[in-house]
A and B are shown apart, each in its own frame.
Chain A
Amino acid sequence: MQVALDGELAFYQQMVDSITDCEVIRLDETGVVRTWHEGAERLYGYTANEIVGGPMSVFYAEDEVRDGRPGFDLRTAAENGHCVSEGWRIRKGGSQFWAAVTLTPIRGAGGTLHGYVRVTRDHTERREQELAMRAIERMLDAITDYEVIRLDADGVIQSWSPGAERLKQYKDDEVIGHHVSMFRPEEDTRSGLPEREMAAAARIGRFEAEGWRLRKDGSRFWASTIVSPINDENGELTGFVSVGRDLSEKRAQEQLVQRQQEEILELSTPVIQVWDKVLVLPIIGTLDSARAARLTEGLLDRIAAEQAEVAILDVSGVPAVDTEVAQHLLKTVEAARLMGAVSVLSGVRPDTAQAIVHLGIDLGSLRSRSNLKEALQLALSIVGATPVAATAVVASGG
């Protein structure tokens, strides 16, 4: 019987000795270390000779010892049947590691306390990971102007963020587990656009698009979204991260600016019908290519609309005609001619004349008059009205 028991004890000893990735030791009822093994040595750095018979307080930081933490842990274990704690523990030499410690009381017959089993695990790495995770979560939560959400490989929503909630009005439990197409207008879903975007993201590594998104209340907003694939260490696609932003304001602003620019261009390139079939295009200020293109288009449209036969291009208000502007003017003249309209330049300055001729452009049938009055007289004679009437027009107009 005794032999069998010894055999069993030896077996248990072997078992404990073979545990090397955590500590399993016995403390006596006052917290003095009674057994030690390789796993404990690896964690705490002490050999059995150094530590057996010593108090468990050596594993605690000084301030915790001062606060009576070792005794408190033992009492808690004795009273509750166990004590689970996480915290910094001290190795031989003073270095720290983040330990998960379980204390369990050992009781004999009648409930007499014989001591404690202590199990310690090193959770330093796990704690760092958790802290890092929490930092990422906090970081995501801090982003409120953007939505950052995670999708699985099929586009099912896996995570939600305060930014997403703010943008789309949904709470996390209303969206997680649903397909991301729930935020898309019907026309997008019908054409399979969300799926195509994810496929493109998986293929190219990133997909960026602007489009309409739906809020919970059904209203639309103009959003910019970047979808990026998430791959595991083997390069297998595991999901997507989608970062979105409300561009409504920006879009409205852009449209406003564009509209204003168009209005300004419209104002800066007026075409005036001064007589039946005669248009005047007074060009004032510097001509850049955008304005010049606009001017040509405006003139041609008016020629078509008014069935004009003569267009007077008054350049007396242009401070400088460089080669580019001159070329533009001559293109306008040629385009007008293709539509059957004769152009008359008026108010050409000496330096402009030089510029145009130095361009080496064949002036062909281009006619020019020194001022608007003479240009009008020429125009009216072309369309067959009498120059006398033209004088009257100029007089009443000026």
Chain B
Amino acid sequence: MGDNLIVMLQGDLEDGTIEQIERDVTREVARSQARGALIDVSGLSVVDSFVARIISRIVAMIRLLGSDATVVGIQPAVALALVELGVPLKHVATALTAEQGMARLQGRRRERAR
């Protein structure tokens, strides 16, 4: 996806798969020198505070690698639940859809370039 990487999270996140995902994502970001990464969570069957913490961890790792990260695909019910639970996603950039997210990644890059 050009300068950007899309990470699709799907199904259930389990302890084993999480490390695998983190490894894959960090390697891929480093290898591709991607400027930004979209993390699409719309395919996850459950988004609770545990999953939210993992998402924020992946975002932090991507940032440390010098990329921008945006989380997309959080549904209304999920957003409500996360707020009620007290989300650990305070400083994570978000967007409704992948297109919107992509536009924002590019927008932020332009701002930085200026």
A residues near B (Cβ < 8 Å) are 296-297, 300-301, 303-304, 307-309, 331, 334-341, 362, 364
**Residues of B with C-beta under 8 A to A338:** 71, 74, 78-79, 82-83, 87, 89, 94
Once the chains bind, are A339 and B79 in contact (CB under 8 Å)?
yes
Question: Contacts A331-B83, A331-B84 given: A341-B76 contact, CB under 8 Å?
Answer: no
Question: Contacts A338-B87, A339-B76 given: A307-B82 contact, CB under 8 Å?
Answer: no
Once the chains bind, are A334 and B87 in contact (CB under 8 Å)?
yes
Any A CB within 8 A of the CB of B101: yes
Once the chains bind, are A296 and B94 in contact (CB under 8 Å)?
no
Any A CB within 8 A of the CB of B80: yes
The B76-108 residues at the A interface (CB cut-off 8 A) are 76, 78-80, 82-84, 87, 89-90, 94-97, 100-101, 104
Any A CB within 8 A of the CB of B10: no
Once the chains bind, are B90 and A335 in contact (CB under 8 Å)?
no
Once the chains bind, are B97 and A336 in contact (CB under 8 Å)?
no
Any A CB within 8 A of the CB of B72: yes
Give, as a whole number of angstroms, the nearest-CB distance from B83 to chain A.
Answer: 4
**Residues of B with C-beta under 8 A to A334:** 83, 87, 90
A297, A301, A303, A335: the one contacting B96 at CB < 8 Å is A303
Once the chains bind, are A340 and B95 in contact (CB under 8 Å)?
yes
Once the chains bind, are A337 and B100 in contact (CB under 8 Å)?
no
Once the chains bind, are A301 and B94 in contact (CB under 8 Å)?
no
Any A CB within 8 A of the CB of B75: yes
Chain A: interface secondary structure? helix
Once the chains bind, are B96 and A339 in contact (CB under 8 Å)?
yes
Once the chains bind, are B79 and A300 in contact (CB under 8 Å)?
yes
B residues near A (Cβ < 8 Å) are 71-72, 74-76, 78-80, 82-84, 87, 89-90, 94-97, 100-101, 104
Q: A304, A340, A364: which has the most chain B beta carbons within 10 Å?
A: A340
| 16 A/B residue pairs, CB under 8 Å, sorted by A | A297-B76, A300-B76, A301-B76, A304-B96, A307-B97, A309-B100, A334-B87, A335-B79, A335-B83, A336-B79, A338-B82, A338-B94, A339-B74, A339-B75, A340-B74, A340-B101
Once the chains bind, are A307 and B96 in contact (CB under 8 Å)?
yes
**Residues of A with C-beta under 8 A to B76:** 297, 300-301, 303-304, 335, 339
Once the chains bind, are B100 and A335 in contact (CB under 8 Å)?
no
Once the chains bind, are A307 and B100 in contact (CB under 8 Å)?
yes
Give, as a whole number of angstroms, the nearest-CB distance from A244 to chain B.
Answer: 39
Once the chains bind, are A340 and B72 in contact (CB under 8 Å)?
yes
User: Nearest chain-A residue to B80 (Cβ)?
Assistant: A335
Once the chains bind, are A341 and B96 in contact (CB under 8 Å)?
yes
A340 to B96, CA, bound (A): 5
Give, as a whole number of angstroms, the nearest-CB distance from A333 to chain B.
Answer: 9
**Residues of A with C-beta under 8 A to B78:** 338
Give, as a whole number of angstroms, the nearest-CB distance from B106 to chain A.
Answer: 13
Once the chains bind, are A304 and B75 in contact (CB under 8 Å)?
yes
Give, as a whole number of angstroms, the nearest-CB distance from A278 to chain B.
Answer: 14
